[in-house]
Structures are given as C-alpha cells and as structure tokens.
Structure 1
Amino acid sequence: MRSFGVEEELLLVAPSSGVPVALAESVTRGKDDDGPERELQRQQVETGTDPCTTLDELAGQLRDRRNAAARAARRAGSEVAALATSPRAVTPSTTPADRYLRMAEEYALTAQEQLTCGCHVHVSIESEDEGVGVLDRIRPWLAPLLAMTGNSPFWQDRDSGYDSYRYQVWGRWPSAGPTEAFGTPKLYHDTVRSMVESGALLDEGMIYFDARLSRHYPTVEVRVADVCLMADDAVLLAALVRGLVETAAREWRSGEPPVPVRTELLRLASWRASRSGLAGDLIHPVTQRPAPARDVVYALIEHTAPALVDTGDLQTATELAERLLERGNGAALQRQVYEETGEMSAVVNAAVARTLGA
C-alpha cells in the first residue's frame, strides 16, 4: 500500500475582524514537531502530516496539525483559517528570509501579492521511472480535483467570480500549471534544468507544476488543489490522489500509453474548474467536452475504483464525495455565509470554526 501525506497552508487572521496578520514568526517560534512552519508571506503558515498508510491515520493527523497550528496562533493572538485566499483586504508582508526576499524583488507584484494557500498531496513511488509514468497519466484528472477543492472565491473584499481565484493568482508564476508528458526521468530533469538555467526561475524549488516529482522525498507531489475548508475534503482529496497515482502506475507497468491530451486543453479544463467549481459544467477528462460536475466527479471515482478497493477506501471516498456534492465546496460555503450576513468578517470567522471542525 502506497504511503501518502498532506501539506496544508493556512491563513493567520485577527480574531473577530478576520484581517490577515503578519505573525508567522511568533506563531512558529519554538514550535514542536507537529507545529506549523513559515511560508512566503508572514500572514500564513504551513503544516504537514507524516507519511500515512490509511485514511483514518491521515484524517487524525490532519486534524491534529490543524489544532496544533490553532494553539500556536492563539498564543500569538491570532487564529488559523483554511482559506485559499483572504476575503478581507490585505497587503502581504514577505517573510524576511533570503530566498523569499529575493523572490519578492525578482517577481515584483506577482510575489508581493501572492498570499494564497494550497494543499499538496505526496504519494510514494517505487522509482523515478514510475513517477514520470504517473505524471504523464494523471494529467487529465487534475482539473476535477481543483473544482472539488475550490475554496477561494473572495479577493481583496470582493467576490472574484471564481471558485478558485487562488489558481488564477498562482498562475502568474512563470512555471505554474499543467505540463506536457515527459516520457522519461531524463526528459523531466532536463526540462527542469533548462527552466532553471533560463534564468527565469531562482532555483528548482520554483518548479510549480500542478504535479511534479518531489525534490526531497520519493513521491509524486500533486499541487493543484486549494487548501480545503473542511478537513474531510482534504481526506477525500488525498484518497483520490493516491488512487490516481496507483491507477496510473498500473497503466504504466502494463504498457498502456498516456492519453494524448494537449496542454492547451488541460489549461482550459483548469480554468473551467477554477471558474465554476462544482456549480456548473466541467471539461470531462475523457471526452474533453462539457459535462456536469457531478458526472465528472463520479467519473474520477470510477476511474480510480480498482485502486480504491485495494486500499479499502472506495466506500469512504464515495461517501465523502457525495457529502461534498450535496453541500458544495469551500467556495460555496463561504458565499453562503456572505449571502446570509453581508460581512466578510463573518466569512472568515465561520472559516476559523470550520477549519477546526466546529
């Protein structure tokens, strides 16, 4: 059974007002092993689980890490919110680390405005050959994950019109988004090396593909998703990503070639998922034509079902998906609060409660 783990970025917000606060240094000072770490901006922190093998183990660790981050934030006079962008207006403040300051200088407004929170899922692989085989075969299935996790409808005190405006903001980075198929680890690494040597990227850490080989672990890292408002949605995301990796690895081992989808179409699918989330049609990963979001979600489950059966995750993943489709993604829940209250502060306060399962 493949191990998997989740990294989540969280906003630090002021109690009541919900305005992001630049307290990451205080929140992360003297942290324990489960505590949060600093990120690009001082208004956010990152948490990460250990490698897990079961959904129950992962769910427990996700909630533990969120609670640990909340305790650390409260000691510093703030709260944590699993929001992929801030509903309240904010001027981000760059973390005073050399690399982050270089990014702020080199990428100007792109870096200076980049207060976004994503969710990254790592799944173990047996070799880089398998990993590249996986990357090449999961490409069409990443956009539905973005639609399911869309949790960033608001930007600078207004509704962006997108379920995942984070994905639009994140797409300003020069290396962000879907990629062509690579075929071999050599071509993957040659491409990464050429991108860094072009001078447009500071280093290999700025390879911001929607899915990539991890630099530090023997894993495929899927980075397309917003941070999930509900911990259950992060569990669902992780289950489906592991299912996708295992399904793709089986296809690779059997010699089944990747589906030859053009990157231009993948970009359209990602835009569509970012724009409408689960509320309208998505671009179906098989037909590349519009289809109801519900049909696309069930197509994803069907595609990964044999792998989910083998890990014992099919029933849980199906139930979590049904709940998600019934109540909506994080963007829908945020908009519901705003429609009821007319207050962005209420949106953030509700998100703080939901981040911790209340």
Structure 2
Amino acid sequence: MRTFGVEEELLLVDAGTGVPLPVAALVLAAHANSAAGPPGIGLEAEMQQEMIEVVTSPHARLDALADQVRAGRSYADALAAGAGARAVALAMSPMPVAPHATEKARYATMMQRYGVTARRSLACGMHTHVSISSRDEGVAVLDRIRAWLPVLIALAANSPFAEGADTGHASHRSIAWGEWQCAGGNEIFGSVEAYDALEEQLVASEVILDSGMLYFDARLSRSHPTVEIRVADTCLRAEDTASLAALTRALVDTAAAEWRAGVPPIAAPAALVRLATWQAAMCGVRGQLVHPVSGRPEPARAVVDALIAHVRASLARTGDVDAVVTGVERIFGEGTGADVLRGFLAQTGRMAEVVARAIERTHATWRPLGARLDTRPA
C-alpha cells in the first residue's frame, strides 16, 4: 500500500478582526520549545509570516492520516493562541492584507526580484505526497494524472474572497498562484531524462532562483521518494482534506498501474489542461468542468463521478471507497469550502464574521470519514 502525507498551509489571523497577523516566527519558536506536541507533526515557515505549514507523517491508512490532520490543526491553533492569533483553514484571506515576508535571505531576494507577485502572495495550499518506487514511475505518474488534476481543484475550492470582496472564483488561490513563472501544468514528459532536461533548462534561464521555484501542479519531490500534488486549496473542513488526500493517492496508484500495463497518458495539450484548471477554479462543483478524456464540458457531478470510477479499483484495494464517496457526497451536499464561506457572508454580511465562522469550522468536531450523511429534510 502506498504511503501518503499532507502539508496544509494555514492562515494566522486575529480572531476579532479577521485580519492576518505576522506571527509565524512566534508560533515556530513555541513549537521548537514545546515538549508536548503531537507525535509526527511538523510545523514549517512559509514565504509570508501570516501563514504556517503543518506537515503530517507518511501513513498507509487513511484513518491515521485523518487523525493527524485534525491533531495538526489543533496544535497549530494552540500555539497561535499564545501569539494572540488563531490558525484557520482559508486558502486566501477574505480581509485586505499587506503580507510580511519571512526573515530569510531567499525570501528577501524574491521580494526584491519578483515585485508585487512576491510581495502580495499569501496563498494557502494543500500538498499531498504519495510514495513512488522510482523516479521512472514518478514521471510516468505525472504524465497520467495531469489531465485529472483540475477535478481536484474543483473539489477543494476554498478561496472565493480576496481584498474584502468576492472574486467570482471558487478557487481564487489557483488564479493568483498562476502569476508565478513556473506555476501550472506541463506537456507530457515521457521520461525522467525529459523531466530533468526541462528542469535544467528552466533553472539555467535564471528567471527563477533555483529548482525550488518549479511550482508545477505536480512534481517529483527533491526531499522524499514521492510525487507531490500541489493543486488543491487548503480545505475548510478537515474531513475534506483527508478524503481528497485518499482520492489523490488513488489517482497516483491508478496512474502507476496504467504505466505498468502500457496504457498511454491522456494526450491533452497543456493549453487545454490550463483551460480546464481555470474553469475548475472558476466554478468549483457548481457548474461545468472540462472532462479529462473528451476535453468537452460536462456537469461537475459527471466529471467527478468519472474520476471516482477511474480510481475505484485502487480505492477498493486500500479500503477507502466509503470514505471518498462519503467525502464527495459531503462536498456536493454541503458545498465546497467556497460555497460555505459565501453562505457565511450571506448570513452575516461581514467578512470579519466569515473568518470567525471559518475558525470554528476549521476546528469543528470530527465526523468519521466512513459515516454516511443524513440528507433527509430536518
């Protein structure tokens, strides 16, 4: 069974005003001095001091990963409270904010070289790492998951607001992140040699500092024997984080099985994948998505169902069918994070209250992943 782990980026905010606070250094100092943190949980700095990354251990079982996601959120929030803040699962700040760069030479260089793209960047994503047996398998996986990744963007959408207004996008983070030079998808690589050659060519251009700025939708990890899938917003509900991580692992496992069986990748050009990505970021699951196989628009439900059918054999092998199906039903029934946040604004009329309610939802009582939703009218 392939192992998988999650990196969740969380905003650090003032609970009263909803405005992000630059307290990551204080949170990390408290973490370094803590002797009572949850086992296996890591905290790391990001480019801006208004966010923190929570890193799980690799796991084989979904329930263990899910428990650690919840524990990581709670731990980050407890440390943030000591700095006068709260940790909240928002992919972008609903409130206006002028971020403060983390005090590190690399980030100082980025602020100077990349202008407003770097200075205004405050986007929280969910990155899922899935184990691979070799770099050859990893590149084969990248080639075979690329056309399906926009569906994950739609399911994870959790960033409708920015600068105090509704952007019109379900995942504005996906749109904003696209300002970076190397963000997005690629053409089919075909081999490790082609992957490495592209990396060398892009770094040699000196437009980016180094290979750490290869912000591809999915890439080979340089630190772990994994592929890293980077397209999803940080999810408002921890249950969604776990369900989408399981779905991502199944997508990787299915792609590896196709490679071994000699099944070629979907021959979608990168330009079409970019269109599918943009559409998924625009509508989430409330509209039409581009079907990865046909390249034609279909209702979001039909495209998501096609993804589940595509990976169902892998989900069955890991015992995750019920958890993923239930998670998808939750998203369509209750809405994506973006839908929920828009509901908060409709109810309260205040962006600060949206953040306050998002804090509550970030740390809400855990619902078992296999539990069926009661959809009967109240």
Task: Provide the TM-score with structure 1 as the length reference.
Answer: 0.99
Give runs of aligned pairs for residues 98-117 of structure 1, distance below 5 A: 98-117=105-124
SS in 2 for 1:36: strand
In the alignment, which of 193, 202, 205 is matched to residue 198 of structure 1? 205
CA shift digits 1:155-189 (9 cap, x unpaired): 00000000000011100000000111111111101
* Ranges of 4+ aligned residues in structure 1 off by more than 6 Å: none
2:294 aligned counterpart, secondary structure? coil
Partner of 2:178: 171
Report if aligned partners of 1:36, 1:68 keep a CA contact under 8 Å in 2.
Answer: no
Counterpart in 2 of 1:254?
261
Q: Corresponding residue for 1:280?
A: 287
Aligned residue identity for 2:279: R
1:65 counterpart residue number: 72
- Indicate how the Cα distance of structure 1 residues 306 and 243 shifts in structure 2: closer, same or farther if over 3 A, else same: same
Q: Deviations over 1:291-323 (max 9, x none)?
A: 111111111110000000001111111111111
Percentage identity across paired residues of the two chains: 48
| Matching of residue 121 in structure 1 with residue 128 in structure 2 | yes
- Report how far residue 30 of structure 1 moved: 3.7
Secondary structure of the residue that 2:114 maps to in structure 1? Answer: helix
CA distance in 2 between counterparts of 1:35 and 1:298 reads 34
1:314 pairs with 2:340? no
Q: Provide the secondary structure at the position in 2 that maps to 1:20.
A: coil
2:52 counterpart SS class: strand
| 1:10-21 alignment runs, 5 A limit | 10-21=10-21
Offset at residue 194 of structure 1 (A):
0.8
Alignment of 1:209 with 2:216, yes or no, is: yes
> Is 1:234 matched with 2:241?
yes
Cα distance in 2 for partners of 1:36, 1:13 equals 17
Q: 1:35, 1:69 within 8 Å by CA — same for their partners in 2? A: no
Shift of 1:103: 0.9
Q: Contact between 2:41 and 2:57, CA under 8 Å: does it hold in 1?
A: no
Alignment partners' CA distance in 2, 1:227 and 1:204: 23
Name the counterpart of 2:28.
28
Amino acid at match of 1:25: A
Instruction: Give the one of 64, 82, 99 matched to 1:92.
Output: 99
Map of 1:296 onto structure 2: 303
Give 1:35 shift: 5.0
What count of residue pairs does the alignment treat as equivalent? 358
Aligned to 2:376: none
Q: Determine the C-alpha separation between the residues in 1 that align with 2:364 and 2:293.
A: 35
Match of 1:188 in 2: 195
Specify the code of the residue in structure 2 equivalent to 1:87. Answer: P
Partner of 1:54: 61
CA distance in 1, matches of 2:216, 2:150: 13
Correspondence for 1:3: 3
Cα distance in 1 between the residues matched to 2:89 and 2:298? 29
- Matched letter for residue 338 of structure 1: L
How far off its partner does 1:38 sit?
1.2
Segment drifting more, 35-44 vs 91-100: 35-44
Measure the CA separation in 2 of the matches of 1:259 and 1:300. 13
SS in structure 1 of the partner of residue 280 of structure 2: helix
Is 2:125–2:230's contact at 8 Å kept on the other side of the alignment? yes
| 8 Å Cα contact 1:5/1:121 also seen in 2 | yes
The one-letter amino acid of 2:307's match is: L
TM-score by length of 2: 0.94
Amino acid corresponding to residue 17 of structure 1 in structure 2: T
Tell me which of 140, 156, 161 is aligned to 1:133: 140
